[in-house]
Amino acid sequence: MASPPIPPSLEHLAARPFSFYPAILNVEPNEWLFRKATWSEILVVNCRTQEEIWIPRRFVGEVSRVDDPVLIVGLNRELEFKGGSVWPHQKRVIQMPVTVGATARVPEEAPERLEPAPVVGIRLEPSDKRIFKLIGGAVGIAVLLYIFAVTLNRVGDFRQRDVVFTAKDQQFLDLSGRDDYLSIVQKLGQPSSDRQHEVGTIRYRALAYPDRKYTVILMGDGATSERYIGALDENWSPIHSVELYSGGTTLSLLRSLKRF
């Protein structure tokens, strides 16, 4: 019987913040530091809340070889934090309760018919024909009205897309994880505001472009290491993210980032 794979060593992460992928549910932000490890578990601490969590080694996957824009530690299962520890996340299916005293009824199978069903002739009276005609006409009018409404909605969507999503507003699609502050300014111009926010040793930088209706986000541990990780709209919702070398994206990191 083949032995299970040996989990990767994480001692080199003692002074380097990293993020889990997928992110652990019910804990924000997705920024951690390695504390210590045993033969079966590892202890990590959240950079902002300083909350310590033990994670079983069987859930820990590979560590990304590149930390641009952020170092990623993979998880084999989607985990959630509850009751002071982490558990595999399970989607629950709610079953409707049965009435007290009632038992679940199993539908009985209908007896197999070996002969064809008898054909009974139906004779329609003139009044019945008139009713069926009225019903058919009403159904036809309803179908025409539905098609007309769908057509109007599609025309409205196309017009709205033509107004909102212009080539100018999509210039953030030209950005990648290799872009720093200078290259972003060369492509998009000077931002109207430049805000910074530090979480532990990690610094976030928000370059606001209100005329374009989005904000560009950079991340790094210093001014020379800040790189583009994505763009947020006016509601601070991600509209663009960066693909990581490990196969994931920075989307979960952007979703956990609070407005500053």
Question: What pLDDT does 154 receive?
Answer: 67
Are 217 and 241 within 8 A, CB to CB?
Answer: no
Please compute the mean of the pLDDT values over residues 157-184 and round it to a whole number: 71
Q: Is 95 contained in some domain?
A: no
Indicate the residue among 70, 88, 106 that finishes a domain: 88
Summarize the confidence of residues 58-72 as an average pLDDT: 79
Q: Residue 6: exposed, middle, or buried by beta-carbon count in 10 A (0-12, 13-18, 19+)?
A: exposed
* Structural domain of 71: 11-88
Residue 161 lies in a domain: no
Percent of all residues in the chain with a pLDDT value above 90, rounded to a whole number? 22
According to the model, what pLDDT value does residue 221 have? 83
Return d(Cα 36, Cα 42) in angstroms, integer. Answer: 6
Task: Give domain status of residue 155, yes or no.
Answer: no
Of 220, 165, 215, the residue nearest 192 (C-alpha): 215
Q: How high is the mean pLDDT of the chain? A: 79
Lowest mean pLDDT across 56-60, 67-71, 116-120, 213-217 = 116-120
Mark residue 143 as left, alpha or beta (left: phi above 0; alpha: psi -120 to 50; beta: remaining).
alpha
Is residue 162 assigned to a domain? Answer: no
Mean pLDDT of 11-37: 83
Task: Please indicate, yes or no, if residue 69 is contained in any of the structural domains.
Answer: yes
Range of weakest confidence among 48-62, 152-166, 182-196: 152-166
Residue-level pLDDT at 202: 87
pLDDT at 247: 76
User: Of 53, 88, 123, which marks where a domain is finished?
Assistant: 88
Q: Is residue 44 part of a domain?
A: yes
Long-range interactions of 75-78: CB distance < 8 A, separation 24+: 75/20, 75/21, 75/22, 75/24, 78/22, 78/25
User: Does the residue 150 lie in any domain?
Assistant: no
Domain tally, the chain: 2
Q: Give the number of other Cβ atoms within 10 Å of residue 15's Cβ.
A: 8
pLDDT value of position 123: 62
- How much is the CA Rg of the chain, to the nearest whole Å? 29
pLDDT at 209 over 90: yes
Confirm whether 47 is domain-assigned. yes
Residue 88 token pair = 């595999």
User: In the predicted model, what is the mean pLDDT of residues 166-184?
Assistant: 83
Reported pTM: 0.38
Distance CA(191)–CA(244), nearest Å, equals: 26
The reported pLDDT for the residue numbered 185 is 93
Tokens of 179: 């872009």
Q: Residue 233: which pLDDT band, with cuts at 50, 70 and 90?
A: very high
Question: Which of 88, 106, 122 is the last residue in one of the domains?
Answer: 88
Residues 25, 22: Cα–Cα separation, whole Å: 9
pLDDT at 5: 44
CA 248 to chain centre: 12
Q: Is the predicted pLDDT of residue 155 greater than 50, yes or no? A: yes
pLDDT-based confidence at 167, cuts 50/70/90? very low
Average pLDDT over residues 96-101: 62
Q: Tokens for 127?
A: 């009044």
